[in-house]
Amino acid sequence: MEKIINYLEDQYNSKAWEKSTLGEALDHWAKNYGDSIAIIDNDKSYTYKTLLKDAQAYAMGFLKQGYKKGDKIVLQLSNCYDFVAIAFGMFKVGIVPIMALPAHRAIELKGIFELSQAVAYIIQDRYLGYDYRELAREIKKDSSSLKDIFVIGDNEEFKSVKNLKVKSEKPFILPQIDHRELALLLLSGGTTGIPKLIPRRHTDYLYVGKMTAKRCQMTDKSIYLAALPIAHNFPLGCPGLIGTLNVGGKVVMCQTTSPDEIIPLIEEQKVTITGLVPAMAVMCMEFINYDDSYDISSLKVLQIGGSVLDSITAEKIENVFGCKLQQIFGIAEGLICCTALDDPDETVYNCQGKPISEMDEVIIVDENENEVETGGYGELIVRGPYTIFGYYNLPEINKEQVSANGYFRTGDKARKLENGNYQVAGRMKELINRAGEKITPSELEETLLKHDRIREAQVVGIRDKELGERICAFLLKNNVTLSLDQVRVFLSQRGMATFKLPDQLIYVESWPLTSVGKINKKQLKIIAEHKIS
Ligand code: OOB
């Protein structure tokens, strides 16, 4: 295994990777785009030169506070300029930020501290009414590695983040960092339990930013709205913050994931590109349908990814937003596939596109790990220049997660089409096994949407004494009041096999969401398990 990895890494290094760290990339950007605006946060703008200066000041501050290359620091901030300046300060020293989302709480964070032995924790005092100092107190009790807590805003008994910012005219010496070294730790998705830490290196993260920006045809005129939490791989690097800065564009920070901030900001800042998860796009469309007074015609590309997008909603998105849709399938562990801007509508509405690198090796395999023929569904496995060979500090899990020849098992059910595009149908484990018959939730969900009174639907499998699993369909309460029987009749009229018809129907006021805004199917299962239809 080690031999294969070494061989592959040599290939990637000679054929794909840039010989630069993220810290060096910032020097380069400041040189090329110096006085252009890099970041807009509320009513403040920051040039590339200012960003470099601030990142240097943070780098100096970290060193002065006794932090050194290789240290891990949990960074938990909302979308703001300081996030960028602090993260780049860390990249310059070789300190590794752990990218926690604002929605993470004590259980997840304690696990993250234990796994990483992180030595510091950077937070803001409050965000969306939540007091992160309370959270810090709770974590401090159990995390022996944690030395300092730095706060933006009212720091109470903790240190102010200002302690980390040391302005100095004199040049200072930074540690040597190789472009292949660890740059950051992303957190794995998942809706319960402790996130796993995903080691991403300087060079591979720069590479993803560059390649996704290329697929989105970004230039120095591009204005990217960071609407999803910036610590997530999608807005951070696909192309997100890194990809935009790498071409000299501008990144606008959106404080929340709410349409009443997103839509006005697109108008105000003349945003040209943003990335949303499907649930957010649907909420934005409702907002636009309710209030169409905003001019969002500057928007040229809307990336949608993170969970399955049905073709009907995909088409609607293009019409309502009046821009080009790009479907993007990505994993924080690496692989990014996306449609191209000149793909035909048919492809954009139905597929998640092609890998961003020619060196990505994607295979669809059956349960015996044999390759499935083009057109057939199986598990998507991948290796390539920016996909990890294992999680941080989890050797046992890695044995399961990565094949002997270095392929990362995504757990996603997908197929490859004749035209080279991939279609992702959901998680392998999402397959409902109802009395031995296998049902794909996405197939049922798509068919439910064909009913003119159903706008959104989710389907999950629920443990059942008799059937093994029963099928539960969820609809939004304000949409419809169809009965279970009516739904079943509709689906069978559409030609759906009897064993695929829902056994249970539940209405919810709104979808439970994960920390990054994806529909939380695990939570839906819990709801269904506590209800009997
Ligand atoms: C993105 O990354 P993660 O790590 O939060 O989640 C990855 C998982 C995938 O394994 C897949 O199950 C699902 O999210 N997913 C999609 C999808 N994009 C991600 N499922 C269906 N269709 C899609 N387009 O979610 C992520 C990272 C970078 C860019 C975009 C999304």
> pLDDT by residue (tens digit) across 417-430?
999 999 999 888 88
At 57, is the pLDDT very low, low, confident or very high (cuts 50, 70, 90)? Answer: very high
- The per-residue pLDDT for 532 is 56
Residue 261: name the closest of 233, 231, 283 by CA.
Answer: 283
- Are 357 and 458 found together in one domain? no
Which atom of ligand 1 approaches the CA of 186 most closely?
4
CATH at residue 388: 3.40.50.12780
Structure tokens, 194: 């402790």
Predicted local distance difference test score (pLDDT) of residue 533: 44
Whether residue 408 is found in the same domain as residue 451: no
Is there a domain that residue 438 lies in? yes
Instruction: Write down which residue in 378, 401, 428 finishes a domain.
Output: 428
- Count of beta carbons in the 10 Å neighbourhood of residue 349: 21
pLDDT of residue 489: 96
The answer to the question of residue 380 being in a domain is: yes
Question: Where in the sequence is the domain holding 343, given as residue range(s)?
Answer: 258-428
What is the Cα 127 distance to its own chain's centre?
20
Q: How many CA atoms lie within 13 A of 405 on its CB side?
A: 6
Give the lowest-confidence range in 275-284, 303-312, 313-322, 463-472: 463-472
Residues 48 and 183 grouped into a single domain: yes
| Helix, strand or coil, per DSSP, at residue 323 | coil
Under the banding of pLDDT at 50, 70 and 90, the label for residue 480 is low
Q: Please count the structural domains in the chain.
A: 3
> Domain check: are 337 and 453 in the same one?
no
Contact criterion met (CB below 8 Å) for 186 and 388 = no
- CATH code of the domain covering residue 154: 3.40.50.980
Exposed (0-12), middle (13-18) or buried (19+): which is 167, by Cβ within 10 Å?
exposed
* Distance separating alpha carbons of residues 98 and 182, to the nearest angstrom: 11
Do 177 and 196 touch, CB atoms closer than 8 A? no
Is 16 among the domain residues?
A: no
Question: 50 and 189 share a domain?
Answer: yes
Residues 489, 407 share a domain: no
Output the ligand 1 site: residues, CB below 6 A.
189, 233-234, 238, 305-308, 327-332, 336, 352, 410, 412, 424, 427, 516
CA 87, 39, 211 angle in degrees (round to 5)? 75
> Residue 300 in contact with residue 332, Cβ under 8 Å?
no
Name the one residue in this structure whose structure tokens are 């960071």: 226
Placement of tokens 């005129």 in the chain: 221
Q: What pLDDT, on a 0 to 100 scale, did the predictor assign at position 479? A: 59
Please choose from 329, 350, 351, 386 the residue to mutate so as to test ligand 1's pocket, defined by most ligand atoms within 8 A of CB.
329
- Residue with the bigger pLDDT between 442 and 490: it is 490
229 falls within a domain = no
Query: What residue type is assigned to position 488 of the chain?
Result: R
Do residues 420 and 354 lie in contact, with contact meaning Cβ atoms separated by under 8 Å?
yes
For the domain that residue 452 is a member of, what is the CATH number?
A: 3.30.300.30
Mean pLDDT of the chain: 94
Q: Name which of 128, 122, 130, 117 is nearest 90 in CA terms.
A: 122
Contact between 438 and 432 (Cβ < 8 Å) = yes
Most confident of 305-309, 331-335, 435-439: 331-335
For residue 270, how far is its CA from the centre of ligand 1 (angstroms)?
A: 27
Which of 428, 452, 482 terminates a domain? The answer is 428
Are 37 and 44 spatial neighbours (Cβ–Cβ below 8 Å)? no
* Residues 114-135, mean pLDDT to the nearest whole number: 97
Residues 410 and 308 placed together within one structural domain of the fold: yes
ipTM over 0.90: yes
Q: Are residues 405 and 440 in the same domain?
A: no
Using an 8 Å Cβ cutoff, are 274 and 227 in contact?
yes
